[in-house]
Structure 1
Amino acid sequence: MRVQSLLVLAVGVMASLAAQASDEARLPGDAAAVQATAAERPFKLSFGEYRYGGSFGGQDVNLRYRRGDSSAWLGAYRDRDFGSQGRAGVDTSWQPFEGSTLALQPSLQWASGGFWGGSFSVELGEPWFVQVGIGRTNTKPYFNLNFDPNDALSLAAGYRDDSGRTYYLMAIRDDRLGTHQQHVHAVARWPVGNGQRVTVDVLRKTGIADSGPVEGWGLSLGYDFPTWFLHLAYEPWQNFSDLNATRLTVGFRF
Protein backbone atom coordinates (compact mmCIF):
# COMPACT_ATOMS: atom_id res chain seq x y z
CA MET A 1 0.00 0.00 0.00
CA ARG A 2 1.24 3.46 -0.83
CA VAL A 3 1.13 4.78 2.70
CA GLN A 4 2.90 8.05 1.91
CA SER A 5 0.46 8.87 -0.90
CA LEU A 6 -2.51 8.09 1.33
CA LEU A 7 -1.22 10.30 4.12
CA VAL A 8 -0.80 13.17 1.64
CA LEU A 9 -4.38 12.63 0.53
CA ALA A 10 -5.60 12.68 4.12
CA VAL A 11 -3.93 16.02 4.81
CA GLY A 12 -5.45 17.45 1.65
CA VAL A 13 -8.91 16.25 2.61
CA MET A 14 -8.79 17.83 6.05
CA ALA A 15 -7.50 21.12 4.61
CA SER A 16 -10.07 21.44 1.81
CA LEU A 17 -13.07 19.79 3.49
CA ALA A 18 -13.66 17.63 0.44
CA ALA A 19 -15.74 14.60 1.30
CA GLN A 20 -16.75 11.14 0.35
CA ALA A 21 -20.03 9.36 0.86
CA SER A 22 -19.99 5.94 2.41
CA ASP A 23 -21.80 2.89 1.05
CA GLU A 24 -23.23 2.18 4.50
CA ALA A 25 -26.22 4.44 3.92
CA ARG A 26 -28.05 1.95 1.71
CA LEU A 27 -27.05 -1.28 3.39
CA PRO A 28 -29.01 -3.00 6.15
CA GLY A 29 -26.91 -3.47 9.25
CA ASP A 30 -26.81 -4.23 12.93
CA ALA A 31 -27.88 -0.72 13.91
CA ALA A 32 -27.68 -1.31 17.64
CA ALA A 33 -24.08 -2.50 17.43
CA VAL A 34 -23.10 0.39 15.15
CA GLN A 35 -24.63 2.93 17.52
CA ALA A 36 -22.92 1.39 20.55
CA THR A 37 -19.53 1.54 18.81
CA ALA A 38 -20.13 5.12 17.63
CA ALA A 39 -21.06 6.25 21.14
CA GLU A 40 -17.55 5.32 22.32
CA ARG A 41 -15.63 6.07 19.10
CA PRO A 42 -17.63 8.40 16.82
CA PHE A 43 -14.89 8.86 14.20
CA LYS A 44 -13.80 6.30 11.60
CA LEU A 45 -10.77 6.94 9.37
CA SER A 46 -10.30 4.57 6.41
CA PHE A 47 -7.55 4.14 3.81
CA GLY A 48 -8.22 2.15 0.64
CA GLU A 49 -5.88 0.78 -2.00
CA TYR A 50 -7.34 -0.47 -5.31
CA ARG A 51 -5.76 -2.55 -8.09
CA TYR A 52 -7.46 -2.51 -11.48
CA GLY A 53 -6.74 -5.44 -13.77
CA GLY A 54 -3.14 -5.56 -12.57
CA SER A 55 -2.37 -2.47 -14.67
CA PHE A 56 -2.78 0.53 -12.37
CA GLY A 57 -4.01 1.46 -8.90
CA GLY A 58 -6.12 3.96 -7.04
CA GLN A 59 -6.30 5.29 -3.49
CA ASP A 60 -9.03 6.72 -1.32
CA VAL A 61 -9.20 8.13 2.18
CA ASN A 62 -12.30 9.07 4.14
CA LEU A 63 -13.16 10.33 7.59
CA ARG A 64 -16.59 9.49 8.95
CA TYR A 65 -18.39 10.90 11.96
CA ARG A 66 -21.46 9.28 13.48
CA ARG A 67 -23.77 10.60 16.17
CA GLY A 68 -26.82 8.56 17.05
CA ASP A 69 -28.57 7.56 13.81
CA SER A 70 -26.82 10.14 11.60
CA SER A 71 -23.46 10.15 9.80
CA ALA A 72 -21.32 12.50 7.70
CA TRP A 73 -18.10 11.88 5.72
CA LEU A 74 -15.01 13.71 4.48
CA GLY A 75 -12.86 12.07 1.83
CA ALA A 76 -11.21 11.92 -1.59
CA TYR A 77 -10.29 9.43 -4.32
CA ARG A 78 -7.72 9.38 -7.11
CA ASP A 79 -6.27 7.10 -9.78
CA ARG A 80 -4.23 7.48 -12.96
CA ASP A 81 -7.14 7.28 -15.42
CA PHE A 82 -10.01 8.93 -13.55
CA GLY A 83 -8.00 11.63 -11.78
CA SER A 84 -8.92 13.09 -8.37
CA GLN A 85 -12.31 13.73 -6.85
CA GLY A 86 -13.45 15.15 -3.52
CA ARG A 87 -16.72 13.91 -2.07
CA ALA A 88 -19.27 14.57 0.65
CA GLY A 89 -22.03 12.48 2.12
CA VAL A 90 -24.59 12.51 4.89
CA ASP A 91 -27.33 10.10 5.90
CA THR A 92 -29.70 9.45 8.75
CA SER A 93 -32.26 6.93 9.95
CA TRP A 94 -35.51 8.27 11.38
CA GLN A 95 -38.26 6.34 13.16
CA PRO A 96 -41.43 8.46 12.80
CA PHE A 97 -43.53 6.41 15.21
CA GLU A 98 -42.46 5.62 18.76
CA GLY A 99 -42.34 1.90 19.43
CA SER A 100 -42.52 1.05 15.71
CA THR A 101 -39.84 -0.78 13.73
CA LEU A 102 -40.49 1.45 10.70
CA ALA A 103 -37.35 3.42 9.74
CA LEU A 104 -36.92 6.05 7.00
CA GLN A 105 -33.34 6.34 5.72
CA PRO A 106 -32.45 9.26 3.41
CA SER A 107 -28.92 10.02 2.20
CA LEU A 108 -27.29 12.78 0.12
CA GLN A 109 -23.98 12.71 -1.78
CA TRP A 110 -21.87 15.36 -3.51
CA ALA A 111 -18.61 15.17 -5.47
CA SER A 112 -16.35 17.67 -7.17
CA GLY A 113 -17.06 18.01 -10.87
CA GLY A 114 -20.74 18.78 -10.34
CA PHE A 115 -22.01 15.40 -9.15
CA TRP A 116 -25.07 15.18 -6.90
CA GLY A 117 -26.91 12.08 -5.80
CA GLY A 118 -29.09 10.68 -3.08
CA SER A 119 -31.01 7.66 -1.91
CA PHE A 120 -34.08 6.94 0.17
CA SER A 121 -35.03 3.64 1.75
CA VAL A 122 -37.74 2.34 4.04
CA GLU A 123 -37.09 -0.51 6.46
CA LEU A 124 -39.60 -2.44 8.55
CA GLY A 125 -39.44 -5.34 10.99
CA GLU A 126 -37.43 -6.77 13.87
CA PRO A 127 -35.67 -9.20 14.11
CA TRP A 128 -36.83 -10.18 10.59
CA PHE A 129 -36.84 -7.14 8.34
CA VAL A 130 -37.45 -5.95 4.78
CA GLN A 131 -36.06 -2.84 3.12
CA VAL A 132 -36.92 -1.11 -0.17
CA GLY A 133 -35.01 1.84 -1.59
CA ILE A 134 -34.29 4.07 -4.56
CA GLY A 135 -31.15 5.93 -5.64
CA ARG A 136 -30.85 8.84 -8.06
CA THR A 137 -28.00 10.98 -9.43
CA ASN A 138 -27.58 13.81 -11.93
CA THR A 139 -25.35 11.39 -13.98
CA LYS A 140 -22.28 13.65 -13.74
CA PRO A 141 -18.86 11.90 -13.58
CA TYR A 142 -18.50 10.00 -10.32
CA PHE A 143 -16.16 7.16 -9.39
CA ASN A 144 -18.43 4.80 -7.48
CA LEU A 145 -16.42 3.19 -4.67
CA ASN A 146 -19.03 0.66 -3.61
CA PHE A 147 -19.48 -0.46 -7.26
CA ASP A 148 -23.27 -0.94 -6.91
CA PRO A 149 -25.50 0.82 -9.49
CA ASN A 150 -26.42 4.32 -8.27
CA ASP A 151 -29.56 5.04 -10.30
CA ALA A 152 -31.33 1.96 -9.06
CA LEU A 153 -34.05 0.31 -7.03
CA SER A 154 -33.06 -1.92 -4.11
CA LEU A 155 -34.81 -4.66 -2.16
CA ALA A 156 -33.47 -6.47 0.89
CA ALA A 157 -34.77 -9.03 3.36
CA GLY A 158 -33.00 -10.53 6.35
CA TYR A 159 -32.59 -11.17 10.04
CA ARG A 160 -30.62 -9.49 12.80
CA ASP A 161 -30.61 -9.84 16.56
CA ASP A 162 -29.35 -7.96 19.60
CA SER A 163 -26.10 -9.97 19.68
CA GLY A 164 -24.93 -8.36 16.43
CA ARG A 165 -25.68 -11.24 14.08
CA THR A 166 -27.05 -10.03 10.73
CA TYR A 167 -27.96 -12.04 7.63
CA TYR A 168 -29.65 -10.66 4.52
CA LEU A 169 -30.11 -10.85 0.76
CA MET A 170 -30.12 -7.59 -1.19
CA ALA A 171 -30.75 -6.86 -4.89
CA ILE A 172 -29.77 -3.50 -6.45
CA ARG A 173 -30.91 -3.01 -10.06
CA ASP A 174 -30.60 -0.12 -12.51
CA ASP A 175 -34.10 1.16 -13.36
CA ARG A 176 -33.19 4.38 -15.18
CA LEU A 177 -30.37 4.01 -17.74
CA GLY A 178 -31.48 0.82 -19.50
CA THR A 179 -28.33 -1.16 -18.71
CA HIS A 180 -30.01 -4.06 -16.86
CA GLN A 181 -27.12 -3.83 -14.38
CA GLN A 182 -27.85 -5.73 -11.18
CA HIS A 183 -26.01 -6.76 -8.04
CA VAL A 184 -27.34 -9.41 -5.68
CA HIS A 185 -25.58 -9.56 -2.30
CA ALA A 186 -25.73 -12.38 0.25
CA VAL A 187 -24.30 -10.95 3.47
CA ALA A 188 -23.52 -12.52 6.84
CA ARG A 189 -22.11 -10.58 9.79
CA TRP A 190 -21.53 -12.07 13.22
CA PRO A 191 -19.58 -11.33 16.43
CA VAL A 192 -16.67 -13.54 17.46
CA GLY A 193 -16.06 -12.17 20.98
CA ASN A 194 -14.02 -9.40 22.57
CA GLY A 195 -15.72 -6.74 20.46
CA GLN A 196 -14.66 -8.38 17.19
CA ARG A 197 -16.83 -9.39 14.23
CA VAL A 198 -16.60 -11.01 10.80
CA THR A 199 -18.43 -9.94 7.62
CA VAL A 200 -18.79 -12.03 4.45
CA ASP A 201 -20.46 -10.56 1.34
CA VAL A 202 -20.94 -12.81 -1.73
CA LEU A 203 -21.90 -10.91 -4.89
CA ARG A 204 -23.62 -12.05 -8.09
CA LYS A 205 -23.27 -9.49 -10.89
CA THR A 206 -25.12 -9.25 -14.22
CA GLY A 207 -25.78 -6.53 -16.79
CA ILE A 208 -24.42 -4.64 -19.78
CA ALA A 209 -20.83 -3.48 -19.30
CA ASP A 210 -18.63 -1.34 -21.54
CA SER A 211 -17.85 -4.37 -23.74
CA GLY A 212 -21.31 -5.95 -23.68
CA PRO A 213 -23.26 -8.33 -21.40
CA VAL A 214 -21.33 -9.70 -18.42
CA GLU A 215 -21.96 -11.89 -15.41
CA GLY A 216 -19.72 -12.95 -12.58
CA TRP A 217 -19.12 -13.44 -8.88
CA GLY A 218 -17.46 -11.14 -6.35
CA LEU A 219 -16.48 -11.53 -2.72
CA SER A 220 -15.82 -9.20 0.23
CA LEU A 221 -14.33 -10.27 3.56
CA GLY A 222 -14.09 -8.06 6.63
CA TYR A 223 -12.70 -8.40 10.13
CA ASP A 224 -13.48 -5.71 12.71
CA PHE A 225 -11.70 -5.14 16.01
CA PRO A 226 -12.96 -2.58 18.54
CA THR A 227 -10.57 0.14 17.33
CA TRP A 228 -9.51 -0.95 13.83
CA PHE A 229 -10.65 -3.08 10.90
CA LEU A 230 -9.45 -4.76 7.72
CA HIS A 231 -11.55 -5.41 4.60
CA LEU A 232 -10.57 -7.19 1.38
CA ALA A 233 -12.81 -7.33 -1.71
CA TYR A 234 -12.71 -8.64 -5.27
CA GLU A 235 -15.05 -7.09 -7.85
CA PRO A 236 -15.27 -8.37 -11.45
CA TRP A 237 -16.02 -5.71 -14.08
CA GLN A 238 -15.84 -2.95 -11.48
CA ASN A 239 -18.49 -0.33 -12.13
CA PHE A 240 -19.34 -2.46 -15.19
CA SER A 241 -16.12 -1.49 -16.94
CA ASP A 242 -13.68 -3.94 -18.55
CA LEU A 243 -11.48 -4.03 -15.42
CA ASN A 244 -11.50 -6.32 -12.41
CA ALA A 245 -10.79 -4.64 -9.08
CA THR A 246 -9.18 -5.81 -5.86
CA ARG A 247 -9.67 -3.51 -2.88
CA LEU A 248 -7.87 -3.46 0.48
CA THR A 249 -9.22 -1.13 3.17
CA VAL A 250 -7.68 -0.49 6.58
CA GLY A 251 -9.36 1.79 9.09
CA PHE A 252 -9.36 3.06 12.65
CA ARG A 253 -12.11 4.14 15.05
CA PHE A 254 -11.50 6.81 17.66
Structure 2
Amino acid sequence: MRIKRFAAGSVLAGLLTTTAIYASQDRANIDPADPLKPEQVVAWKAMLGSYRDSVTHSNATDMNLRGNTKDTKFWLGYYQDPNNFTQSRAGVEQSARLASYGQLISSLQVASGGFVGGSITWDGKQDNVDGLSPLLGLGRTNVKTYYNLNFDPNDSVLWGGTFSQRQLGQLSFYQILDDRLKTSQRVTHLVWRGAMPNAMGLTVDAFARSGASEVGEPKVKGNGLSVTLDLRDYFVRMAYDQRANFTQANIMRLALGFRF
Protein backbone atom coordinates (compact mmCIF):
# COMPACT_ATOMS: atom_id res chain seq x y z
CA MET A 1 0.00 0.00 0.00
CA ARG A 2 1.49 3.32 -1.05
CA ILE A 3 0.81 6.21 1.26
CA LYS A 4 1.65 9.85 1.80
CA ARG A 5 2.28 12.00 4.84
CA PHE A 6 3.63 9.27 7.05
CA ALA A 7 7.17 8.55 7.99
CA ALA A 8 8.46 5.19 8.91
CA GLY A 9 9.11 6.13 12.37
CA SER A 10 12.76 6.47 12.52
CA VAL A 11 12.87 7.75 15.86
CA LEU A 12 14.30 9.39 18.23
CA ALA A 13 14.57 7.11 20.72
CA GLY A 14 15.78 4.45 18.90
CA LEU A 15 12.18 2.14 13.00
CA LEU A 16 11.24 4.12 12.51
CA THR A 17 10.77 0.02 13.73
CA THR A 18 11.75 -2.63 13.11
CA THR A 19 12.61 -1.00 12.88
CA ALA A 20 12.46 -0.07 11.25
CA ILE A 21 14.77 -1.18 9.23
CA TYR A 22 12.31 0.19 11.49
CA ALA A 23 12.64 3.64 12.32
CA SER A 24 9.58 3.36 14.25
CA GLN A 25 9.76 1.13 17.01
CA ASP A 26 12.89 2.97 17.83
CA ARG A 27 10.84 6.02 18.58
CA ALA A 28 10.04 4.76 22.05
CA ASN A 29 13.33 2.89 22.38
CA ILE A 30 11.74 -0.56 22.50
CA ASP A 31 14.43 -1.86 20.14
CA PRO A 32 17.65 -0.57 21.73
CA ALA A 33 21.13 -0.72 20.24
CA ASP A 34 22.81 -4.11 20.38
CA PRO A 35 25.81 -4.37 22.72
CA LEU A 36 29.19 -4.45 21.01
CA LYS A 37 31.25 -7.60 21.30
CA PRO A 38 34.93 -7.09 22.26
CA GLU A 39 36.10 -7.48 18.65
CA GLN A 40 33.35 -5.31 17.14
CA VAL A 41 33.45 -1.69 16.05
CA VAL A 42 29.88 -1.93 14.74
CA ALA A 43 27.11 -4.38 15.72
CA TRP A 44 25.21 -5.43 12.58
CA LYS A 45 21.80 -6.98 12.00
CA ALA A 46 19.97 -7.93 8.79
CA MET A 47 16.26 -8.62 8.37
CA LEU A 48 13.89 -9.86 5.67
CA GLY A 49 10.19 -9.09 6.15
CA SER A 50 6.96 -10.15 4.41
CA TYR A 51 3.66 -8.19 4.63
CA ARG A 52 0.31 -9.72 3.58
CA ASP A 53 -2.61 -7.36 2.92
CA SER A 54 -6.16 -8.58 3.68
CA VAL A 55 -7.70 -6.33 1.00
CA THR A 56 -5.53 -7.19 -2.00
CA HIS A 57 -4.36 -10.59 -0.66
CA SER A 58 -0.91 -9.73 -1.94
CA ASN A 59 2.52 -9.98 -0.35
CA ALA A 60 5.12 -7.24 -0.14
CA THR A 61 8.73 -7.68 0.93
CA ASP A 62 11.24 -5.53 2.74
CA MET A 63 14.97 -6.01 3.25
CA ASN A 64 17.05 -3.96 5.63
CA LEU A 65 20.47 -3.74 7.16
CA ARG A 66 21.12 -1.96 10.45
CA GLY A 67 24.27 -1.16 12.34
CA ASN A 68 25.05 0.54 15.62
CA THR A 69 27.92 1.77 17.70
CA LYS A 70 27.40 2.78 21.32
CA ASP A 71 25.53 6.02 20.54
CA THR A 72 24.83 5.92 16.80
CA LYS A 73 22.48 3.80 14.66
CA PHE A 74 22.26 3.72 10.88
CA TRP A 75 20.27 1.67 8.37
CA LEU A 76 19.57 0.90 4.72
CA GLY A 77 16.33 -0.62 3.46
CA TYR A 78 14.53 -1.63 0.28
CA TYR A 79 10.76 -2.22 -0.09
CA GLN A 80 8.81 -3.73 -3.01
CA ASP A 81 5.14 -4.62 -3.42
CA PRO A 82 3.28 -6.65 -6.10
CA ASN A 83 2.29 -3.44 -7.90
CA ASN A 84 5.98 -2.80 -8.51
CA PHE A 85 6.12 0.16 -6.17
CA THR A 86 9.66 0.21 -4.80
CA GLN A 87 11.40 2.50 -2.36
CA SER A 88 14.93 2.63 -1.01
CA ARG A 89 15.68 4.35 2.28
CA ALA A 90 18.54 5.27 4.56
CA GLY A 91 18.71 6.79 8.02
CA VAL A 92 20.90 7.70 10.94
CA GLU A 93 20.18 8.26 14.63
CA GLN A 94 22.39 9.83 17.27
CA SER A 95 22.06 9.65 21.07
CA ALA A 96 23.44 12.38 23.33
CA ARG A 97 23.77 11.57 27.05
CA LEU A 98 22.36 14.16 29.44
CA ALA A 99 24.07 13.05 32.65
CA SER A 100 21.33 12.36 35.21
CA TYR A 101 18.57 13.42 32.77
CA GLY A 102 18.68 10.45 30.39
CA GLN A 103 19.40 11.01 26.71
CA LEU A 104 18.34 13.12 23.74
CA ILE A 105 17.93 11.14 20.52
CA SER A 106 17.77 12.72 17.07
CA SER A 107 17.24 10.99 13.73
CA LEU A 108 17.22 11.76 10.02
CA GLN A 109 15.78 9.55 7.27
CA VAL A 110 15.70 9.91 3.49
CA ALA A 111 14.07 7.76 0.80
CA SER A 112 13.82 7.58 -2.97
CA GLY A 113 11.11 9.84 -4.35
CA GLY A 114 12.35 12.85 -2.43
CA PHE A 115 11.19 11.90 1.07
CA VAL A 116 12.97 13.47 4.07
CA GLY A 117 11.96 13.02 7.71
CA GLY A 118 13.43 13.64 11.13
CA SER A 119 12.62 13.43 14.79
CA ILE A 120 13.89 14.24 18.22
CA THR A 121 13.02 12.45 21.46
CA TRP A 122 13.91 12.88 25.09
CA ASP A 123 14.19 9.56 26.91
CA GLY A 124 14.55 10.27 30.62
CA LYS A 125 15.77 6.79 31.54
CA GLN A 126 19.25 6.62 33.05
CA ASP A 127 21.49 3.66 32.29
CA ASN A 128 21.29 0.86 34.88
CA VAL A 129 18.73 2.76 36.97
CA ASP A 130 15.36 1.15 37.74
CA GLY A 131 12.08 3.02 38.13
CA LEU A 132 9.85 5.39 36.17
CA SER A 133 11.12 7.69 33.42
CA PRO A 134 9.44 9.99 30.86
CA LEU A 135 9.35 9.94 27.05
CA LEU A 136 8.68 13.05 24.93
CA GLY A 137 9.18 13.41 21.18
CA LEU A 138 8.45 15.36 18.00
CA GLY A 139 8.60 14.13 14.38
CA ARG A 140 8.39 15.97 11.07
CA THR A 141 8.56 15.07 7.35
CA ASN A 142 8.32 16.91 4.05
CA VAL A 143 5.10 14.88 3.34
CA LYS A 144 6.51 13.26 0.22
CA THR A 145 5.28 9.77 -0.69
CA TYR A 146 6.63 7.16 1.70
CA TYR A 147 5.69 3.59 2.55
CA ASN A 148 5.31 3.46 6.31
CA LEU A 149 6.55 0.15 7.70
CA ASN A 150 5.67 0.80 11.32
CA PHE A 151 2.20 2.25 10.64
CA ASP A 152 2.52 5.09 13.18
CA PRO A 153 2.20 8.75 12.07
CA ASN A 154 5.50 10.57 12.17
CA ASP A 155 4.29 14.15 11.66
CA SER A 156 3.37 13.88 15.30
CA VAL A 157 4.14 14.30 18.95
CA LEU A 158 4.98 11.47 21.31
CA TRP A 159 4.40 11.29 25.06
CA GLY A 160 4.65 8.46 27.55
CA GLY A 161 6.97 6.76 29.96
CA THR A 162 8.75 3.57 30.94
CA PHE A 163 9.10 1.51 34.08
CA SER A 164 12.24 -0.59 34.42
CA GLN A 165 13.04 -3.32 36.93
CA ARG A 166 15.94 -5.72 36.53
CA GLN A 167 13.99 -8.88 37.28
CA LEU A 168 10.78 -7.89 35.48
CA GLY A 169 12.24 -6.13 32.43
CA GLN A 170 10.96 -2.86 30.93
CA LEU A 171 7.35 -1.78 30.46
CA SER A 172 6.64 1.19 28.16
CA PHE A 173 3.39 3.08 27.64
CA TYR A 174 3.25 5.83 25.02
CA GLN A 175 1.03 7.57 22.47
CA ILE A 176 1.91 8.98 19.06
CA LEU A 177 -0.53 11.67 17.87
CA ASP A 178 -0.84 13.60 14.61
CA ASP A 179 -0.40 17.29 15.49
CA ARG A 180 0.05 18.65 11.97
CA LEU A 181 -2.11 17.06 9.25
CA LYS A 182 -5.51 17.21 11.01
CA THR A 183 -6.26 13.49 10.61
CA SER A 184 -6.90 12.85 14.34
CA GLN A 185 -4.54 9.89 14.12
CA ARG A 186 -3.62 8.42 17.48
CA VAL A 187 -1.72 5.20 18.24
CA THR A 188 -1.35 3.94 21.81
CA HIS A 189 1.32 1.34 22.61
CA LEU A 190 1.92 -0.88 25.64
CA VAL A 191 5.26 -2.68 25.29
CA TRP A 192 7.04 -5.18 27.50
CA ARG A 193 10.63 -6.25 26.90
CA GLY A 194 12.46 -8.77 29.03
CA ALA A 195 14.92 -11.65 29.20
CA MET A 196 13.98 -15.32 29.26
CA PRO A 197 15.91 -18.53 30.04
CA ASN A 198 18.50 -19.95 27.62
CA ALA A 199 19.68 -16.52 26.42
CA MET A 200 16.31 -15.72 24.90
CA GLY A 201 14.64 -12.31 24.80
CA LEU A 202 11.00 -11.37 24.25
CA THR A 203 9.34 -8.10 23.21
CA VAL A 204 5.53 -7.79 23.13
CA ASP A 205 3.88 -4.66 21.68
CA ALA A 206 0.08 -4.33 22.03
CA PHE A 207 -1.37 -1.25 20.33
CA ALA A 208 -4.60 0.50 19.41
CA ARG A 209 -5.18 3.13 16.73
CA SER A 210 -7.88 5.55 15.65
CA GLY A 211 -8.07 8.29 13.04
CA ALA A 212 -8.40 8.91 9.29
CA SER A 213 -5.93 8.18 6.52
CA GLU A 214 -6.40 11.70 5.11
CA VAL A 215 -8.43 14.80 5.98
CA GLY A 216 -12.06 14.16 5.04
CA GLU A 217 -11.73 10.37 4.97
CA PRO A 218 -13.77 8.28 7.46
CA LYS A 219 -12.13 7.51 10.79
CA VAL A 220 -11.28 3.92 11.62
CA LYS A 221 -10.35 2.05 14.79
CA GLY A 222 -8.15 -1.01 15.08
CA ASN A 223 -5.89 -3.02 17.37
CA GLY A 224 -2.75 -5.02 16.86
CA LEU A 225 -0.07 -7.15 18.43
CA SER A 226 3.61 -7.60 17.60
CA VAL A 227 5.82 -10.26 19.19
CA THR A 228 9.60 -10.47 18.73
CA LEU A 229 11.57 -13.47 19.95
CA ASP A 230 15.37 -13.26 20.23
CA LEU A 231 17.63 -16.29 20.47
CA ARG A 232 21.26 -15.27 20.64
CA ASP A 233 22.16 -13.99 17.15
CA TYR A 234 18.77 -14.76 15.56
CA PHE A 235 15.32 -13.22 15.91
CA VAL A 236 11.82 -13.54 14.50
CA ARG A 237 9.03 -10.94 14.56
CA MET A 238 5.34 -11.74 13.99
CA ALA A 239 2.58 -9.13 13.96
CA TYR A 240 -1.09 -8.60 13.22
CA ASP A 241 -1.95 -5.00 12.37
CA GLN A 242 -5.68 -4.13 12.14
CA ARG A 243 -6.65 -1.10 10.03
CA ALA A 244 -3.02 -0.58 9.03
CA ASN A 245 -2.20 3.00 8.07
CA PHE A 246 -5.78 3.91 9.10
CA THR A 247 -7.30 2.10 6.10
CA GLN A 248 -9.57 -0.95 5.84
CA ALA A 249 -6.59 -3.26 5.37
CA ASN A 250 -5.41 -5.71 7.99
CA ILE A 251 -1.78 -6.74 7.60
CA MET A 252 0.05 -9.85 8.77
CA ARG A 253 3.78 -9.41 9.13
CA LEU A 254 6.58 -11.96 9.45
CA ALA A 255 10.23 -10.94 9.66
CA LEU A 256 13.37 -13.03 10.17
CA GLY A 257 16.78 -11.67 11.00
CA PHE A 258 20.24 -12.34 12.34
CA ARG A 259 23.07 -10.41 14.00
CA PHE A 260 26.68 -10.53 12.93
Q: Which runs of 5+ in 2 are unaligned?
A: 1-19
Q: What is the rounded CA distance, in whole Å, between the counterparts of 2:145 and 2:235 in structure 1? A: 30
One of 60, 63, 81 as aligned partner of 2:62: 60
| Residue of structure 2 equivalent to 1:148 | 152
Q: Does 1:181 align with 2:185?
A: yes
Residues in 1 aligned to 2:151 and 2:50: alpha-carbon distance in whole angstroms? 15
Q: Which amino acid aligns with 1:168?
A: S
- Give TM-score scaled by structure 2 length: 0.83
TM-score (normalised: structure 1) = 0.85
Alignment of 1:112-123 (within 5 A): 112-123=112-123
How far has the Cα of 1:209 moved from its partner? 3.3
Of structures 1 and 2, the one with the larger relative CO (CA 8 A, separation 6+) is 2
Seen in structure 2, the aligned counterparts of structure 1 residues 88 and 186 have a Cα distance that, compared at 3 Å, is: same
Task: Find the counterpart in structure 1 of residue 4 from structure 2.
Answer: none
Task: Name the Cα RMSD after superposition.
Answer: 2.1
Cα deviation, residue 177, structure 1: 0.2
State how far apart, in whole Å, the 1-side matches of 2:135 and 2:49 are: 28
Match of 2:8 in 1: none
Amino acid at match of 1:57: N
Q: Of Structure 1 and Structure 2, which has the larger fraction of its residues in helix?
A: 1
Give the Cα separation in 1 of the matches to 2:220 and 2:245: 12
- TM superposition shift of 1:56: 1.0
Distance in 1 between the 2:218 and 2:29 partners? 31
The amino acid across from 1:224 in the alignment is D
2:194 matched to which residue of 1?
190
User: 1:22 aligns to what?
Assistant: 23
Tell me how far apart the structure 2 counterparts of residues 158 and 131 of structure 1 sit (CA, whole Å). 7
Cα displacement (A) at 1:35: 4.1
Alignment partner of 1:132 out of 127, 136, 144:
136
Cα distance in 1 for partners of 2:36, 2:69 equals: 10
What is the CA-CA distance between 1:75 and the residue it aligns to?
Answer: 1.2
Counterpart Cα distance in 2 of 1:29 and 1:236: 21
Bigger shift: residues 77-86 or 108-117? 77-86
Deviation string, structure 1 residues 162-199 (Cα, Å, up to 9, x no partner): 56811011100000000000100011111102321111
Q: In the alignment, what sits opposite 2:51?
A: 50
**1-structure distance, mates of 2:104, 2:202:** 27
Deviation of the 1:28 alpha carbon: 2.5
Task: Give the Cα separation in 2 of the matches to 1:102 and 1:38.
Answer: 24
2:223 paired residue number: 217
Instruction: Say whether the 8 Å CA contact 1:25–1:107 is kept in structure 2.
Output: no
Quick check: 1:109 aligned with 2:132?
no
Structure 2: how far apart are the matches of 1:147 and 1:48? 15
Q: Name the SS for the 1:26 alignment partner.
A: helix
1:95-136 superposed Cα distances (whole Å, 9 cap, x missing partner): 133xx1421000110000000001100121442211100110
Identity of aligned residues (%): 36
Change (3 A) 1:219 1:207: same
Task: Give the number of equivalent residue pairs.
Answer: 232
Listed as ranges, the gaps of 5+ residues in structure 1 are 1-18
